[in-house]
Amino acid sequence: MWKGGVYTTCWLAMPARAQFAAIRAWALIGVFGLFACLGLSMPAKAQVPACEWHLLQEHGGPTLPGGSVEWPVGATIYVRLFPFKVTSISSSNPDVVEIFSLSTVGGDATTHRSGIATITAETSDPACATATLNITVKVTEPPTVGDTTTTVDANSSNNLVNLDIDGYEVQFVEVVSGPSNGSATISASGTGIIYTPDAGFSGLDKITYTATNAAGTSAPATATINVQAATYTVSWSSSGRGEIGSVTFNDDPETAISSPVEVSEGRIISFWDPIPDAGATYRQPSGCGIHPVGSAWYTDPVTADCAVSFIFEEITLSPDALPNASEDTSYDETITAIGGLWDFAFAIVSGALPSGLELHENGTLAGAPTETGDFSFTLEARNERGHSRTKSYTLTVEAAPEIAVGPASLPGGTAGTPYEEVTFTAEGGKAPYSFAMTAGALPEGLSLDASGELYGTPTEAGSFTFTVTAIDANDFTGEREYTLTVDAPEIVVTVPSLPDGRVNMEYEPVRLSASGGSEPYAFNLASGDLPDGMTLAADGTLSGTPAEGGEFAFAVRATDAYGFEGSARATLKVEAENLPVAQNHTLEVMAGTSGTLDLTRGAAGGPFTSAAIATHPASEAGDAWVERENGAYILHFAAAGTFAGTASLTYTLSNADGASEPATVTITVIARPDPSLDPEVIGLMRAQTQTAKRFANTQITNFNRRLEQLHNEGERRNNSIGVNLSLQQPTDNANAYAPNEDTPHDPAVDAIGQVVSSAADSGSASQATPVENLFGDPAFWSGGFVSFGTNDDGAINLDHTLVGVSAGVDYRFTPQLTAGFGVGYGRDVTEAGSNDTESRAEAFSLAAYGSYRPVPGFFLDGLAGYSTMTFDSVRYVTTTGEFATGSRGGDQLFASLSAGYEFRNEGLLISPYGRLSGSHSTLDAFTETGAGMWNLIYGQQTIDTLSGTLGLRFQYAIPMEWGVLTPRGRLEYTHDFEGASRASLGYADLGTLPYTLNVDGFSRDHLTIGLGLDAQLGESWNLGFDYRTAFGTDGDSQDHTFGVKLGVQF
């Protein structure tokens, strides 16, 4: 701005690190700072020079010369040209500095990346036409690098790798991961990479690199080097009769290539020979690695310049002449073909071989000619490519001489004695002769050497036939068969006089001797026996301490060094001792019990001083010991409870002279009895099974009695607890029970109403009072009975006493449907047999029941329930008289379904019905205690019952002045479709259940007769008595059930 002819320069006040720049033409560039004006005086009329950029330092004036200023990346630059208006502003490098806003007073720019850019500002004012400023953006971010590809030659070196680096003032590059098939180094500048491939390598190699500047290091990138394979020169030449017909490459079937040829590194060349009448040998040059394969020659992969020379030769046959053959003599000569690289086959193409000779395909001429003379023939050798050569031979076969072998016979010999030497001779052939045994065998110890000498000491006797063959200098042979007889030596055994011995006294040793054979001699018994305790040593010494008396005859054998034998007989007398003689015995005991045996019974040689067990029985069988009792020795044996079978022991008896020979006691241990056959066990199992059935039948009976009462609401209320009956004799008796109920009325209820009415007030009998609604209200009830019964099928007798009670509550939902639920309790005591075997049991039950009456008179009753049971048992142990006790639990499901018809007329009720009932009981496994080894273990037991019942019940209500008297009766026939059960058991100490007991029921068919009497006393009291008897049609069971009922309504 102008101020009295003096320029005023505006300074940009910035923080200490900020940089300031101004142009003399009053351009102002700032970075978020505060402005302050400082004075700079110039003459008012001085001429303004061209626009120039200048640097201004903080707290100072312009600095000249200038022209550049540094800014960080990401800064915003404000460009102002005072006092001139800016007509345009631009950046030479928008990637570094970008102009993003333009106005008449200047422009705004931002820095993007490291680098250098020139900002040019233009104005229309001639005083300042153009102003430029170089902007250097500081390094504030690491450089970036990219993937590249570089192509180099194989076997080259020091190749500069192409790199793609973008960034300001890159300081150096680094190799993160080097090449796999070469080496990489950093160039002298630090920003390049030099690569040298491994010798012979071609293909792709890779280098991972980074670049670094002052701001940091770039992410890595990959430089791929394509190493191109080298090219080599291969040449070839040939000499001789053959030549190379064609050349091919393994990957290019090009043919008829002339030498030399340029070959890429790694290729394989094939040379082919088309000449059929020539073989070839070759000279292997360095680098080509040539080798023959079939009808061609192949090189290894080419890795260097190389030359190959082939030399072709003719095929020749060898030998030039055949050696002479001899008649009837083995002949073996091989003819070979030289030249070529293939196998040859040989054949006679003219002439003939002598009989006995044969030419094999491989060139072997072999056999034994059987005729003499000169034999000419022509032979051809031909290979698989058809190359062939022929050659003529003449073979001379000479006649064989007759060679005689002597002597005519051989003298005999004696085994163990040196043989008189014999030398074989030969004549008729050409000396020298050699000798060999060609058939048969010489006796052991004799040998025949090549000079014809027979020598040695024969070690075996017998007649030996063998053949000796003489071979002359021309390999002609002659032979003679011989028989040589070798006699066995006569060996004499000398036994001196033997003194008598005594039992248990040491015998004075006696030495036996032998002669006539070859020492040393070995002695042993040929037959007979020495007394126990005496031995004959191999050196002939008889010694020991005899343990038995008597006269012992035996034969002694002496065997010389070559196995030849001689023998002599002898007798030895030994005075005996008076030793006891024990007897074998048997003993039988039951498992788990003890038995005794007098070991002296039947024994000889007493008096006895002791008895001892020599070998004990097996430990699992039991324990055995001996005790002296009343002068006798008693064997005690305690059998193990778990063992059954046979065991044994041996024992000895002793007297003053010693101990007897061991005798044997055979012990038979009888297994514990099968508990499934024990009447006490059977009785207990049947008792618990019958109890489980009775528990189910008790609840089924109780709840079905209640279901019968539900068929008539009057009976339902009359047999309930806490039901108030306030009845009045109506005009229509049917309506005295319940509205909308189709069930016929009960005269007993009518009678109750009459009694109550007259007892209360005779004057009010004609007054009608509302009838209580008997539907819907819950009714509580209870019932039960005591049952005494006997089951006796002739084998098992069971006496039981059962108390069974039930209680419940039911609700009449509709005139046709009444349902409820209840609980039950049962307690049973059953005695099995007469030995105090007993089962005590309890059961707690839950049940749901319901009665449906679709039409008057007909009914369908259902019941389902669950019980939990406990059993306590006492079992008499038949074997010992002890008692075993046990406890077990159980669960039970029971159900029944009944259908029938009720005919009611006044006080009479007749109801036929049918019922299907069943139960499923599971008794837990348990183990008895208190009886030791006789305790039993019982497995889990399942009891299923299914019964069908046909019945008829009837009753008649008789009105009385005091109430109603109702006699009633019942008749039922029941058939059990299923009721048997199976129990598994065993002895507790064995822990297994090997026995099975089929727990059968008693009668399957039962007839039940029931009688009862109910007395309704006024409105509140009810007294009843029931008796029922049930008996099996087989006559093996009978039950008596008594019930007394006293009820009161309150």
Mean pLDDT per 10-residue section of the chain, whose length is 1050 residues: 32 32 33 28 35 38 47 75 71 84 77 79 72 65 91 89 87 93 92 91 92 90 90 76 65 66 78 55 60 70 79 77 86 84 83 92 92 91 76 88 90 89 89 92 92 92 93 87 92 91 89 91 93 93 91 93 91 86 93 90 90 93 92 92 90 88 94 89 91 93 91 69 35 36 46 39 34 60 83 76 92 93 95 92 97 94 97 93 95 97 91 95 96 92 94 92 91 85 90 87 82 84 83 72 69
pLDDT of residue 153: 85
Q: Please identify which residue in the block is written with the tokens 């310049």.
A: 305
CATH number of 404-487: 2.60.40.10
- Tell me 258's DSSP state: P
Strands annotated E in 97-219: 97-103, 106-111, 115-122, 130-137, 144-146, 148-153, 159-160, 164-166, 172-177, 182-186, 193-197, 203-213, 216-217
Give domain limits for the chain.
Answer: 2-137, 144-228, 231-313, 316-398, 404-487, 492-575, 585-671, 676-1048
Q: What is the pLDDT of residue 514?
A: 93
CA distance 111 to 96: 6
Domains 316-398 and 492-575 share a fold: yes
Maximum separation of any 2 CA atoms in the chain, in Å: 176
Q: What are the DSSP calls for 110-124, one per residue?
A: EE-SSEEEEEEEE-S
Per-residue HEC secondary structure of 220-285 comes to CEEEEEEEECCEEEEEEEEEECCCCCEEEECCECCCCCCCCEEEECCCCEEEECCCCCCEEEEECC
Q: Indicate the DSSP class of residue 872.
A: E
Give the integer Cα–Cα distance in Å for 458 and 445.
4
Report the C-alpha dihedral over residues 435, 437, 438, 440, rounded to 10 degrees. Answer: 160
Lateral strand order in the sheet of 501-502: 501-502, 565-575, 550-559, 522-528
3-class secondary-structure state, position 708:
helix
- CB-CB contact of 1039 with 1030 (8 Å): yes
In whole angstroms, what is the distance from residue 273 CA to residue 871 CA? 108
Sequence letter at residue 142 = P
42: how many CB neighbours lie within 10 A of its CB? 12
What are the two backbone dihedrals, phi and then psi, of residue 90, each rounded to the nearest 5 degrees?
A: -145, 165
Question: What's the CATH number of domain 585-671, 3.40.50.300, 2.60.40.10, 3.30.2290.10, 3.30.2080.10?
Answer: 2.60.40.10
Q: Which of 281, 940, 249, 1049 is nearest to 714 (CA)?
A: 1049
What are the angstrom distances between the C-alpha of 903 and each of 245, 908, 954? Answer: 128, 8, 9
Number of residues that this document lists for the chain? 1050
**What is 492-575's CATH number?**
2.60.40.10
1 CB burial (10 A radius; 0-12, 13-18, 19+)? exposed
pLDDT recorded at residue 981: 87
Token readout for 90 is 């631009």
Q: Where in 957-1004 does DSSP place strands (E)? A: 958-959, 963-978, 981-987, 995-999
610 beta partners: 654
The CA distance from 415 to 564, in Å, is 9
Between CA 1029 and CA 851 the distance in angstroms is 26
Check whether the bond before 285 is cis (ω within 30° of 0).
Answer: no
Eight-state DSSP code of residue 689: H
Fold for the domain defined by 316-398: Immunoglobulin-like (2.60.40)
Alpha helices (H) in 647-798, listed in sequence order: 679-709, 713-718, 747-760
CATH architecture of structural domain 144-228:
Sandwich (2.60)
H or E element at residue 464: strand 462-471
What CATH topology corresponds to 676-1048?
Answer: Lipocalin (2.40.128)
Token digits for 1030?
Answer: 């049930």
Give pLDDT, residue 132. Answer: 65
